[in-house]
Amino acid sequence: MQLQDKIALVTGAGRGMGRAISLRLAEAGANVAVSDIDAANAEDTTVAVKQLGRESIALPADMGNLDDIDRMVRQAKDTFGRIDIVVNNAGITKYLDIMDVQESDWDMIHRVNAKGVFFCMQRAARELIDQGHGGRIINIASIAGKGYAGTSNAAYAASKGAVISMTHIAALQLGKYDINVNAICPGSTLTAMAAETMAGRAQVTGQSLQEMEANRDARIPIGRPNEPEDIAAMAEFLAGPGGRNITGQAFNVDGGLVMH
């Protein structure tokens, strides 16, 4: 219970990695504010957290909307009295060849993946600074932001590269407040969003899903994709005592796909 009675806010927590992170932090003792654009999914995760014996609240929010971000952070603080851990997980993508990316695709992806992450980090940091006892911010980036060739599209890769860069700068500027800021860069991970992206890629390339899954696994040195719980384990570590003196880093969790 290394996070006993800590307060965590997790975005995009209705499914996939965000849900796994919420449950892992709860298992470690944290109470969790669960945010997701899908109110029903947020409520499902909240129920699951409560079943682990922790307190939780569902906070529906569009992470591309600054008013929603402000309301989400304020409600989390008002409910629990403070915030200790923020996990910026919400993100979107779809499969697109570089020649098929439209302005609307770029704007849609960056609205959530870059703008949303930055302003959630900034808004949460204001609370952490005011509280005066430090805190942890964990941004979910991607190995796509480090040049992984198997990215879903160039706009997505650019948005995740932005997350990594913002993490570095935030760590530099928030360190004086004892706020640690790190990023996790997942590789291929078995989530609903990844399945939707793979289905789009299969449709474009004419390959079967079975062929694509076999090719995916063959490219991973360790031979298997991530489960969402693999990302959650790294988030728990960074949020806990082991992450006390780690900041400004972007950790790959990818089975060896990208080794830098």
The residues assigned a catalytic role are: 156
Contact of 147 with 258, CB cutoff 8 Å: yes
User: What is the SS3 assignment for 252?
Assistant: strand
Task: Tell me the C-alpha distance between 41 and 72, whole Å.
Answer: 16
Q: How would you list the strands of the sheet with 250-253, edge to edge? A: 56-60, 31-36, 7-10, 85-88, 135-140, 179-186, 250-253
User: What is the SS3 assignment for 164?
Assistant: helix
Q: Rounded to the nearest 10 degrees, what angle do helices 192-205 and 209-219 cross at? A: 110
Task: Tell me the C-alpha distance between 69 and 51, whole Å.
Answer: 27
C-alpha to C-alpha distances, 231 to 130, 199, 236, 252, nearest whole angstrom: 29, 22, 9, 9
Share in percent of the chain as helix, strand, coil (round to 5): 55, 15, 30
